[in-house]
Amino acid sequence: MKKVQFSGIAPPLLLIAPQMAIVVIFFLWPAAEAVRTSFFIQDPFFGRAVFVGFDNYVNAVTRSDYLRSAAFTGVFVTAICAISLGFGLLFAVCADEVLRGEGPYKTLLMWVYAIAPPVAGLIGVMLFDQHIGPLVDFFAFFGWELQTGVDYWDTAFAMTVVAAWKQIPYNFIFFLSGLQGIPRSLREAAAIDCRSPARRFWTVVFPLLAPTSFFLLVINITYAFFETFGVIDVMLKGEPGNNPVSLVYKVYLDGFRGQDLGGSSAQSVILMVGVMLLTVVQFRFIERRVHYA
């Protein structure tokens, strides 16, 4: 990398200005606006805003629909992380067994990741479609009448499966490259030291994958909280009714459907603080156990 020494402070500032402008306009300003709005009850039709202090917050966290949504989000995020990380790792281990050094195959497997997320989401929606969905037929065979969009639990199930499914290729790729980065001689040393392949995996291979796993855990939690918005929106077809919604989707519903800008802002601030706390916890307690070779 070529190093350049600027003579004054102006040129470097000018160079980072576009990036800073984007950060300020699209991230910092809306975040500050959300915090401000959360302390007001706002007339959506350009009327007065009344300062109400923490009323919006109190109101949000004491309402039963909010608590229900929060509980669902907790389960939803946990399930997505468990399913997508679990299957991603499982597939990566299977692929790694046969893939050592087989370049073209690896490339083929990675194509899955190249499918655009909305397309993947739409495929998921079709799989669970009441009329044409093969998964509905599949579960009907076992006597489970899946009613996505009508029954709360069925919808929750479908949402979780689709959201997790979309994330599996991503996890797969990272786990696979992590596995392929483990030196062959280490596995061989382990093969001499330990008879059981399963035990070898959990005591040698998995700990060496820890940096990858930790990175993916952070990414997956963020994904499950925020990026699943699209999947939920597509699956609910804009009709939330009695169906499960995640906290992020509820922020959107209350703010844009319910026109409750103050309450919606308060919810988003709570969510923001919650995710920040979660990230701090992750780095403090999990990262410490992660070994970076």
Partner 1 sequence: MTPADGSRGGVPTLEITGAVKRYANGHLAVKGVDLHADEGEFVVFVGPSGCGKSTLLRMIAGLESVTEGEVRLKGRVVNDVEPADRDIAMVFQNYALYPHMSVYDNLAYGLRNRKIPKPEIDRRVREAAEMLQIGEYLARKPGALSGGQRQRVAMGRCIVRDPAIFLFDEPLSNLDAKLRTQMRLEIRRLQRRLGVAAVYVTHDQVEAMTLADRIVVLNGGRVEQIGAPVEVYNAPASTFVASFIGAPAMNLFPAEAEGGAIRVDGGSAPAPARARGAVTAGLRPEKARLVPAGGGLPFTVETVEELGATRLVHGHVGAASFVVSLEAGVSPPGETCAVTADPADVHLFDRGSGARL
3-class SS of residue 129: coil
Which single residue is written with the structure tokens 């699943």?
A: 228
Q: Binding to partner 1 by residue 203, rule CB under 8 A?
A: yes
Q: Binding marks (x or -) toward partner 1, 76..95, rule CB under 8 A?
A: --------------------
Q: Binding to partner 1 by residue 193, rule CB under 8 A?
A: yes
Q: How far is the CB of 190 from partner 1 (least distance, A)?
A: 8
Size of residue set near partner 1 by CB under 8 A: 20
Q: Binding to partner 1 by residue 183, rule CB under 8 A?
A: yes
Q: Binding to partner 1 by residue 19, rule CB under 8 A?
A: no
Q: Which of 25, 82, 123, 189 binds partner 1 (CB under 8 A)?
A: 189
Q: Binding to partner 1 by residue 190, rule CB under 8 A?
A: yes
3-class SS of residue 40: strand
Whole-angstrom CA distances from 190 to 56, 92, 206 are: 58, 19, 12
Q: How far apart are CA 134 and CA 118, in angstroms?
A: 20
Q: How far is the CB of 194 from partner 1 (least distance, A)?
A: 4
First CA to last CA across the chain, in angstroms?
25
One-character DSSP codes across 11-51: HHHHHHHHHHHHHIIIIIHHHHHHHHHTTEEE-TTT--EEE
Q: How far apart are CA 103 and CA 204, in angstroms?
A: 25
Q: Which of 1, 142, 185, 288 binds partner 1 (CB under 8 A)?
A: 185
Q: Which of 186, 272, 273, 281 binds partner 1 (CB under 8 A)?
A: 186
Q: How far is the CB of 189 from partner 1 (least distance, A)?
A: 4
Q: Binding to partner 1 by residue 219, rule CB under 8 A?
A: no
Cα Rg of the chain (Å, integer): 23
Q: Which of 9, 98, 192, 198 binds partner 1 (CB under 8 A)?
A: 192
Whole-angstrom CA distances from 161 to 15, 43, 139, 216 are: 44, 39, 13, 18
User: Can you give the binding site for partner 1, defined by CB under 8 A?
Assistant: 183, 185-186, 188-196, 199, 203-204, 207-208, 210, 291, 293
